[in-house]
Chain A
Amino acid sequence: MARMKLPGLVGGLGVTFKNMLKGAVTVQYPHEKEDPPTRARGVIALKEENCTVCMLCARQCPDWCIYIEGHKEKRPPRREGGRERTVSVLDRFDIDYALCMYCGICVEVCPFDALFWSPDFEYSEANIADLLHDKAKLGEWMETVPEPEPLEEGAE
Chain B
Amino acid sequence: MSARAGDVEIAPEDLRHLADAQLNVELDTGDMVLNLGPQHPATHGTLRLVVRLDGERVIAADPVIGYMHRGYEKLTEFRTYPQVTTLINRIDWLSSFANEVPFIWGAEQLMEIEAPPRAVHIRTILTELSRIATFLLFLGEMGLQVGALTPPFLGFRDREHVLNLIEAATGGRFHPNFNRIGGLKDDLPWGWIGETRDTMRIVFDACNTLEDLLMGNEIFELRTRSIGIIPGELGAGYGVSGSNLRASGVDWDLRRDGTPYLAYPELDFKVWTHSDGDSYARYWVRLQETRESARMVIQLLDQLPSGPIMAKVPRIIKVPEGEVWTETENPLGQMGYYIFSKGATGPFRTKIRSASFSNVSILPWLLRGVYVPDVITILASLYFILGDIDR
Contact = CB atoms under 8 A, between A and B. Distances in A.
B171 A105 contact: no
Nearest to B165: A37
Contacts of B160: 25
B307 A156 contact: yes
Interface in A111-153: 117, 149-153
A40 B171 contact: yes
A11 B212 contact: yes
A9 B189 contact: no
Contacts, number: 119
Top 5 A-B residue pairs of the complex, sorted by shortest distance between their CB atoms: A154-B306, A155-B187, A8-B216, A103-B86, A62-B83
A102 B175 contact: yes
Given A6-B212, A101-B175, A150 B189 contact: yes
Interface stretch (B190-198, B254-262, B328-336, B379-387): B190-198
15 contacts: A1-B208, A1-B291, A8-B212, A11-B212, A12-B216, A15-B209, A25-B157, A39-B167, A39-B170, A104-B177, A105-B83, A151-B186, A151-B187, A152-B188, A153-B193
Given A16-B150, A62-B83, A152 B212 contact: no
A70 interface: no
Contact of B193 (A5, A7, A152): A152
Given A151-B189, A154-B118, A154-B304, 20 more contacts: A1-B291, A5-B216, A7-B218, A8-B220, A9-B217, A9-B219, A12-B214, A36-B167, A37-B171, A39-B167, A39-B168, A62-B87, A103-B175, A105-B83, A150-B189, A150-B190, A151-B187, A155-B188, A156-B308, A156-B309
A92 interface: no
Contacts of B217: 8-9, 11-12
Given A12-B217, A105-B82, A38 B189 contact: yes
A62 B168 contact: no
Q: Is the interface of A mostly helix, strand, loop or mixed?
A: loop
B126 interface: no
A60 interface: yes
A155 B306 contact: yes
B284 to A, nearest CB: 13
B305 A154 contact: yes
B218 A8 contact: yes
B250 to A, nearest CB: 24
Interface in B118-164: 118, 150, 154, 157, 160, 164
Nearest to B177: A103
A152 B187 contact: yes
Interface of A: 1, 3, 5-9, 11-12, 14-16, 19, 25, 36-41, 60, 62, 101-105, 108, 117, 149-156
Given A37-B167, A156-B307, A151 B188 contact: yes
Contacts of B83: 60, 62, 103, 105
Contacts of A155: 118, 187-188, 306, 309
Contacts of B154: 19
Interface in B301-350: 304-309
A21 to B, nearest CB: 14
Contacts of A11: 212-213, 216-217
Nearest to B164: A37
Contacts of A9: 217-219
Contact of A105 (B86, B90, B189, B220): B86
B53 interface: no
A101 B213 CA distance: 38
B61 to A, nearest CB: 30
Interface string B68-90: 00000000000110110111011
B172 interface: yes
Contacts of A37: 164, 167-168, 171, 189
Contacts of B85: 103
Given A152-B192, A154-B304, A60 B82 contact: yes
Given A12-B214, A151-B189, A153-B306, A117 B171 contact: yes
B291 to A, nearest CB: 7
A77 B90 CA distance: 50
Nearest to B172: A41
B185 interface: yes
B213 A62 contact: no
B106 to A, nearest CB: 19
Nearest to B216: A8
B233 interface: no
B306 A62 contact: no
B60 interface: no
Contacts of A7: 216, 218
A25 B155 CA distance: 13
Contacts of B309: 155-156
A7 B308 CA distance: 52
